[in-house]
Structure 1
Amino acid sequence: MQVADVFQEAHGRAPEGVWRAPGRVNLIGEHTDYNDGFVLPFALPWGVSVAASRRADRTVTVRSLQAPGEAHTLDDLDRAEGWVRYAAGAVWALRDAGYEVGGADLVLDGDVPPGAGLSSSAALEVAVAVALDDLYGLGLDRMELARLARRAENEFVGMPCGIMDQAASALCTEGHALFLDCRSLAYRNVPLDVAKAGMRFLIIDTGVHHELADGRYAQRRRECENAAKRLGVAALRDVTDLNDALARLDGAERRRTQHVVTENHRVEALVGLLRAGAVTEIGALLNASHLSLRDQFEVSCPELDVAVEAAVRGGARGARMTGGGFGGSAIALVPADRVASVQESVNRAYRERGFAAPRFLEAVPSPGARRLA
């Protein structure tokens, strides 16, 4: 295992263990998580592995096979920079919550495509949290680890995300999607056997790298919070009469509300189809979700719109942008015998518009965080 070998070379001893947490793709339920709504992600084959051992002192060393690392003490974790902040944030969140976590050596290896909206940051946070939980015998359940990983991203990194990404990384199971109520944190894994239905999930990485911390994501969140205040509800999830709510709002707040409320309905409808074994019938919901994200939530971009439209033209049953938006990836539900034609359709559309060629990845519902060695 390469990450363990690199740990051995760096520290002169074998790691105490190797842990892995996956990235995720969200099948449906976008920008609903921080509105106390419903989401339906599944874990991906790609993720972050961490070889780790405890230290007797208060030092935390973090390095990666992909980038240089840093060393900090438990008292100056806030000085961490760049990608190291996600790992340092996981250590900080555990300690700040009162858990006895000491020094550690961490060597990471990630293969989540960066910037593609597949949640490499959550995979990193959860991998470190799971490793430290095991190393220090904390005995935390996976939802608590997801909550702490989210806190690391919210309060330490400064990205106001909801809990979906960390929960998917920590809780997903192979061959299933995670139906999560982001208010109560109740969840269940819903069977998602696309191969049995003769289908494939194709991720179309537009190559447009996004940085959600640039302010646009936070702006959408503020607009949702302001709309909820004007409507007198705790969160947009609580809107029960959409027509009345829309009549009381205007501008961006009206559009954001329309998306969140209808997206929650789409999540529940899609779960119903999956439970009925109707995988091939979910495409219309994916299409509707994309249109809502494009027109009501305004987080798409030309490359995503072209990818979705061309995928459907090429034979996909449905497609939508996935992730926070402003770039990243789309996901398409494609009959197994139409994968090549969908790829060609998207490639042709990109060439015609002068876009850089996209990357295609098959998304297989995979296991969540676990110990490898």
Structure 2
Amino acid sequence: MILGTNELASRFEGVFGVAPDGVWQAPGRVNLIGEHTDYNEGFVLPFAIDRTARVAVRLRPDSTLRMLSTFGNQGLTTADTGALDRSTARGWTKYPLGVIWALQQRGLPIPGLDLLLDSDVPRGAGLASSHAIQCAVISALNTLTAAGLRVEDMVLATQRAENEFVGAPTGIMDQSASLRATPGHAVFLDCRDQSVRLVPFDAEGAGLVLLVIDTRVSHSHAEGGYGSRRESCELGAEVLGVKALRDVGMEDLEEASGLLDAETFRRVRHVVTENDRVLRTVGLLEAAGPEAIGPLLDASHASMRDDFEISCAELDLAVDAARSGGAIGARMTGGGFGGSAIALAPAGAEPQVRAAVERAFAQAGYAAPDIFSVRPAAGAMRLA
């Protein structure tokens, strides 16, 4: 349960002995469809969820950083804005430290600060918990330092923090969703030019529910699987003579199969077909509503399982069990190698879907998954 704004501010004052300058929040996200297309300059369709990271922040007159969270046992962390060291950053503090470092790289002087973090975005679940922290922090610093950053600037700064400070080779989808989302809509993002179109996604109005199935298999973008997939995509683009796989069309796949080794071709085929699925999903949402997109969710999961090979046994079981329980479509979401699946189901079938997944996990001897519903929520904002 996330702390209320006043309670977080009160906790801050109890820890640091003075009231914060303000409280900001930024949401996690679910990616409805469009996986591993962002760093290939393609299309994605995420939405912000009603799970958020909140930070109470106060600027200091010196260069000292003091950071504490309401969860875990890391305790109070101290650092100096003039001597940030990515090699010694640990745990969740990598994310605010990375944001401060990235802003410094833009030539912005960042003073010391006190920060208290609270979050109910599940960590390691593929719901962008790290980006929620980064987006809350950069929103706070943009306001408190009067930096005047546009949302596009904040997207790129948090990406640089993630890539170069944290060491995770991610694209711009997660922070774009967290910073630019609105309630009741998915964010149709062109990752080449950052252009955005908000697409209505009212599952509840269509008599549907979107369930997140957290397999509790933790993943990390800073580990090798994510990076190796990105390298395969870059190799494919180089061999095919294009700037990015965004420039390869469905009609080019037959020729590509003769130019690429089998594994690289499978990686390329996933990205190309996933871009096509994003575009078709947007079209269906605008023309027919969310009840029409189930088969595209299923096809996306099959592509991630077979071509991109980023699923795992628990994710596959979650998807299959949800479908057998009555979901109209299901897929893993996020970077893969663990994390969460999503299932779009008739509201009346929610109990059966939950029961089917829980039963399947118990029979397989897996830890019980955490299953909860989400709805499209607002992006980052100041609360106090």
Normalised-by-shorter TM-score class: over 0.9
Kindly report which structure 2 residues correspond to 1:201-240, keeping only aligned pairs within 5 A, or say none: 201-240=210-249
Question: Of 316, 335, 342, which aligns to 2:327?
Answer: 316
Question: Of 14, 17, 31, which aligns to 1:12?
Answer: 17
1:162 and 2:171 correspond: yes
| Equivalent residue letter for 2:317 | V
1:260 and 2:271 correspond: yes
Question: Where does residue 39 of structure 1 map in the other structure?
Answer: 44
Q: CA deviation at 1:28?
A: 0.2
Kindly report which structure 2 residues correspond to 1:185-334, keeping only aligned pairs within 5 A, or say none: 185-240=194-249, 241-334=252-345
Distance in 1 (alpha carbons) for counterparts of 2:46 and 2:206: 19
Percent identity reads 53
Distance in 1 (alpha carbons) for counterparts of 2:223 and 2:168: 9
1:63 and 2:50 correspond: no
| Equivalent residue letter for 2:176 | A
| Equivalent residue letter for 2:84 | L
Q: Secondary structure at the match of 1:367?
A: coil
| Equivalent residue letter for 1:263 | E
Q: CA deviation at 1:249?
A: 1.1
Shifted more, 25-34 versus 342-351: the winner is: 342-351
Question: Of 71, 77, 82, which aligns to 1:75?
Answer: 82
Kindly report which structure 2 residues correspond to 1:76-115, keeping only aligned pairs within 5 A, or say none: 76-78=83-85, 79-115=88-124
Conserved? CA contact 2:188–2:196, under 8 Å: yes
Question: Where does residue 3 of structure 1 map in the other structure?
Answer: 8
Shifted more, 159-168 versus 96-105: the winner is: 96-105
Conserved? CA contact 1:70–1:80, under 8 Å: no
Q: Secondary structure at the match of 1:77?
A: coil
Q: CA deviation at 1:90?
A: 0.5
1:335 and 2:346 correspond: yes
Q: Secondary structure at the match of 1:39?
A: strand
Kindly report which structure 2 residues correspond to 1:161-180, keeping only aligned pairs within 5 A, or say none: 161-180=170-189
| Equivalent residue letter for 1:72 | A
Unaligned ranges ≥5, structure 1: none
Aligned residues: 373
Q: 1:88-135 CA distances to partner (integer Å, 9 max, x unpaired)?
A: 011111111012321111111111111111010000111110000011
Q: Secondary structure at the match of 2:67?
A: strand
Conserved? CA contact 1:239–1:245, under 8 Å: no
Distance in 1 (alpha carbons) for counterparts of 2:365 and 2:314: 10
1:183 and 2:192 correspond: yes
Unaligned ranges ≥5, structure 2: 1-5
Distance in 1 (alpha carbons) for counterparts of 2:235 and 2:278: 23
TM-score (norm 2): 0.95
| Equivalent residue letter for 2:39 | Y
Structure 1 stretches of at least 4 aligned residues deviating more than 4 Å after TM superposition = none
Distance in 1 (alpha carbons) for counterparts of 2:78 and 2:177: 29
Q: Secondary structure at the match of 1:62?
A: strand
Q: CA deviation at 1:216?
A: 0.7
Distance in 2 (alpha carbons) for counterparts of 1:328 and 1:229: 31
TM-score (norm 1): 0.98
| Equivalent residue letter for 1:120 | S
Distance in 1 (alpha carbons) for counterparts of 2:263 and 2:67: 42
Shifted more, 67-76 versus 265-274: the winner is: 67-76
Distance in 1 (alpha carbons) for counterparts of 2:272 and 2:349: 33
Distance in 1 (alpha carbons) for counterparts of 2:230 and 2:353: 34
Q: 1:208-234 CA distances to partner (integer Å, 9 max, x unpaired)?
A: 111221211000000110111111111
Distance in 2 (alpha carbons) for counterparts of 1:173 and 1:139: 21
Shifted more, 15-24 versus 57-66: the winner is: 57-66
Conserved? CA contact 2:361–2:368, under 8 Å: yes
